[in-house]
Amino acid sequence: MNFNDMYPSKYLKKEDVPVPRTVTIKGIGSAIVGRGQGEEKNILYFNELKEMVLNKANAFTIFEAYGEPVNWPGKRVEVFTDPSVMFGGKRVGGLRLRIPSQNGPVWTLEQAITECAAVGIKQAELISYLKSKGSAGYKPDRDTASVKSLLATRVEKEQGFDSLPEPPAGRDESEIPF
């Protein structure tokens, strides 16, 4: 038994989402959260996961994409752990939401490496490929499509196909270095 199993939470926490998960919003409400008198907080309900305390940053992400909360049920969001989240002046990590890519969820560098390894692509080959596409570092929103293209290329070559789709153009320079 690990520590989080010893002290379960009614609400979603970063330890519950070790890899990004695309989920469907069931609804939004509010609840008293905390000990004693507690504090009223907005709560986001999902079909696939337990409920999540909805902070303003995450609410704004959904609002920008889908408008007023009345429009949110049935919409898809991706829940992921962001290690840079600050609380009380300390970097503690936390949950963030983003709108899923039309091409499916984005992959962290670790997920990209794992997917590539499954078809025999080594980490060095993946990084070399991304550099050849103009990436100076891995950025999930930008590079997931390129990784999927590399994977498709490898599978097509193994199956005897020669045509390859080009990864999308346009590079954002605010990225994570390799």
Q: Is residue 129 part of a domain?
A: yes
133 assigned to some structural domain: yes
Q: Which two tokens stand for residue 152?
A: 């498709």
How crowded is residue 73: how many other Cβ atoms within 10 Å of its Cβ?
A: 14
Other beta carbons within 10 angstroms of residue 63's beta carbon come to 14
Number of domains in the chain: 2
Helix (H, G, I), strand (E, B) or coil at 16: helix
Task: Point out which residues pair with 46 in neighbouring strands.
Answer: 25
70 and 115 fall within a common domain: no
Residue 107 has what DSSP assignment? -
* Residue at a domain's end among 77, 98, 119: 98
> For the segment 12-21, what is each residue's pLDDT rounded down to a tens digit?
999 999 888 9
What's the whole-model pTM score?
A: 0.57
Verify that 156 and 93 share a domain, yes or no. Answer: no
Residue 177 domain flag: no
Regarding whether 158 and 92 lie in a shared domain, the answer is no
Residues 35 and 77 in one domain: yes
Distance of CA 47 to the CA centre of its chain: 17
| Same-domain check for residues 15 and 90 | yes
**118 in the same domain as 86:** no
Residue carrying the six token digits 């939470």: 9
Q: Which of 51, 52, 49, 46 is nearest to 24 (CA)?
A: 46
As a whole number of angstroms, the distance between CA 68 and CA 75 comes to: 12
Residues 91 and 129 in one domain: no
pLDDT in tens, the chain (178 residues): 777 778 788 999 999 998 889 899 999 999 999 888 889 999 999 999 999 999 999 999 999 989 999 999 999 999 999 998 888 999 999 999 998 876 667 788 998 999 899 889 999 999 999 998 888 888 887 788 888 888 887 876 766 554 444 444 554 444 444 4
Q: Is residue 156 included in any domain, yes or no?
A: yes
Per the structure, the complete domain to which residue 124 belongs is given by: 109-162
Structural domain includes residue 104: no
- In 3D space, the residue among 106, 115, 98, 97 whose CA is nearest the CA of residue 139 turns out to be 106
Is 170 inside a domain boundary? Answer: no
Helices of type H across the chain: 3-6, 56-66, 109-118, 123-132, 140-159
pLDDT the model gives residue 40: 95
In the 8-state DSSP scheme, what is residue 20? -
- Give yes or no: residues 84 and 145 share one domain: no
Within a domain: 39: yes
Does residue 84 share a domain with residue 19?
Answer: yes
The confidence score (pLDDT) of residue 1 equals: 74
- How far apart CA 57 and CA 20 sit, in angstroms, is 17
